Structure 1
Amino acid sequence: MPIELHYIDTGGDETPVVVVHGMLGSADNWRSHLKQWQRRHRVIAVDLRNHGRSPHVAGMGYEAMAEDLLALLNRLGVERAHLLGHSMGGKVVISLARLAPSRVASLIVADIAPLAYGHDHDSVFAALRRVEAGEPTNRREADALLAEHVEESAVRLFLATNLERDDEDILRLRIGLDEIQDDYETIMGEPAGKGVFDGPTLVLRGAHSPYVTDEMLPALREVLPRAEVETLEAGHWLHAEQPKAFQTAVNAFLERVES
């Protein structure tokens, strides 16, 4: 049963660009990009289940998350959309493109391949649990707690976007951390659906990221045969590290698709 996702919608009548964040992200992380893209497009950014302001429910399967997204498109009366997904969100949009290709005008996949990956989030989960137990009352305290398990300041800043102040003035996690951890194996697995999506596709990857290597490209093109692959001088969070280059690549692709 699909759930009602929280979303940001810039409005408009044209074919929208639907933005889907990665694991532990949210629509809020994309606000600066939305401001740029809305000059040319209607943009809809979603909070996936157990993220942002969307409901917390058991199960993080890609078919279920794709159905959540499809239900939102139906609710908004969107017949076709350009889908843009980063990391886990990339697997969500690939899943939707395979399950309901007629609803997808084009696909933009940011730094992920339609493959299963190994585990590499233990320290992140430990940091979030430390914050949960520590009950910080300000951002400095929260960062100190996160730093016990995560050294990189950029990663800590990203994780801290999941904190919000409660009625007792304590910063609490707004994500469904239990649900995410319980189904972590599924998140790290392959997208849902079978066969290929043969519509226009752009794959943006980070030159310093291990998520889309040259060795993965043959398997990627088995699922996305029309994929144009562009490499940005960045790591996994390429949209945050190289925002202008990311926007330029997306804009150029959408212009080609819509011309």
Structure 2
Amino acid sequence: MTVALNYRVSGEGEPLILLHGLFGSLENLGGVAQRLQDEYQIHALDHRNHGRSPHTDQMDYPAMAADILAYMDQAGLERASLLGHSMGGKAAMQVALSAPERVERLIVADIAPVSYPPHHDVILEGMTGLDLASLASRQDADRALARYVETPAVRQFLLKNLQRVPEEERTEAAPAAFRWRINLPVIEASYNNLAAAPEGEGPFTGPVLFLKGSESAYIQDKHREAVMSLFPAAQLRIISGTDHWLHAEKPDTFAALCRQFLAEQ
């Protein structure tokens, strides 16, 4: 069953759908939207169990792709280009494999169509182990999470999902001042689904751009066969001096490469 995704539309022109990564929300690609909305109609979406989209017990790429296609139907988009980062890149690839006739062009940021070994275990342990009932401030949460996540910027990103509970919603049975906005239990239970490769019987033969951070290991030479078997028209561009968060580390370069690709005949 599909869910009605939260969205934000900006700009005018040909439609471009933006899809964020794990633990994120549509705000993560806000810089990309700002840089491209002069020429494209941007549809930024929150995936199910993320941001302000509904929570549901199912979390896998076929379901997420169905949500995106349902949004396109609702928005009257017969075809659109898709840009996805990390988990959002896999969801975008799933849409292209499931419904190639709906996808104009595809941009995949720093992820390959392969299964990855678990590598968010410590983050999930830190987030699920956070004692929300004992938190008095975000600073408390940051200090507790620092035992699991060393990098302050990563903690700041994760803690964007921490919401303060309004006083009127607190009860004796649920007195906590904070709660997670994301559906953390389902994300944790579905992690193997999210580490898996997108599913597809036949290739997507339309134009595809893979963008890789030069310091990131998410796209490797060994993935080339998997990429070309599913996306035979794929091209790869590498943004030097960036890691997995390439769109935030060099936003102007990232947006320029996207604009160039989207404008190609």
Could you tell me how far 1:135 is from its partner in structure 2? 4.7
| Residue number in structure 1 paired with 2:252 | 244
Cα displacement string for residues 169-192 of structure 1 (whole angstroms, at most 9, x for unaligned residues):
833210000111111111111102
> Helix, strand or coil: the match of 1:18?
strand
| Residue number in structure 2 paired with 1:87 | 86
| Distance change in 2, residues 1:98/1:165 (3 Å) | same
| Residue number in structure 2 paired with 1:27 | 26
Cα displacement string for residues 34-64 of structure 1 (whole angstroms, at most 9, x for unaligned residues):
1221111100110001000011101111111
Partners of 2:20 and 2:88 within 8 A in 1 = yes
Partners of 1:63 and 1:95 within 8 A in 2 = yes
Residue 229 (str. 1) matches residue 236 (str. 2): yes
- Paired amino acid for 2:245: W
Could you tell me how far 1:149 is from its partner in structure 2? 0.5
Distance between the aligned counterparts of 1:32 and 1:117, measured in 2?
27
- Paired amino acid for 1:73: M
Total equivalences in the alignment: 256
> Helix, strand or coil: the match of 1:42?
strand
Distance between the aligned counterparts of 1:135 and 1:18, measured in 2?
39
Distance between the aligned counterparts of 2:131 and 2:216, measured in 1?
29
| Residue number in structure 1 paired with 2:104 | 105
Q: How does 1:108-119 map to 2 (within 5 A)?
A: 108-119=107-118
Distance between the aligned counterparts of 2:68 and 2:123, measured in 1?
26
| Residue number in structure 1 paired with 2:206 | 199
Distance between the aligned counterparts of 2:27 and 2:258, measured in 1?
19
Which stretches in structure 2 are left out of the alignment for 5+ residues? 168-175
| Residue number in structure 2 paired with 1:5 | 5
RMSD of the alignment, in Å?
Answer: 1.5
Could you tell me how far 1:11 is from its partner in structure 2? 5.0
- Paired amino acid for 2:5: L
Give the number of the structure whose alpha-carbon radius of gyration is greater: 2
Distance between the aligned counterparts of 2:87 and 2:202, measured in 1?
19
Which stretches in structure 1 are left out of the alignment for 5+ residues? none
Partners of 2:81 and 2:103 within 8 A in 1 = yes
Cα displacement string for residues 103-162 of structure 1 (whole angstroms, at most 9, x for unaligned residues):
100000011111111001111112212335365343322211210110011211111121
Distance between the aligned counterparts of 2:127 and 2:208, measured in 1?
34
Partners of 1:83 and 1:106 within 8 A in 2 = yes
> Helix, strand or coil: the match of 1:93?
helix
> Could you state the TM-score of these two structures normalised by the residue count of structure 1?
0.94
| Distance change in 2, residues 1:170/1:133 (3 Å) | closer
> Helix, strand or coil: the match of 1:74?
helix
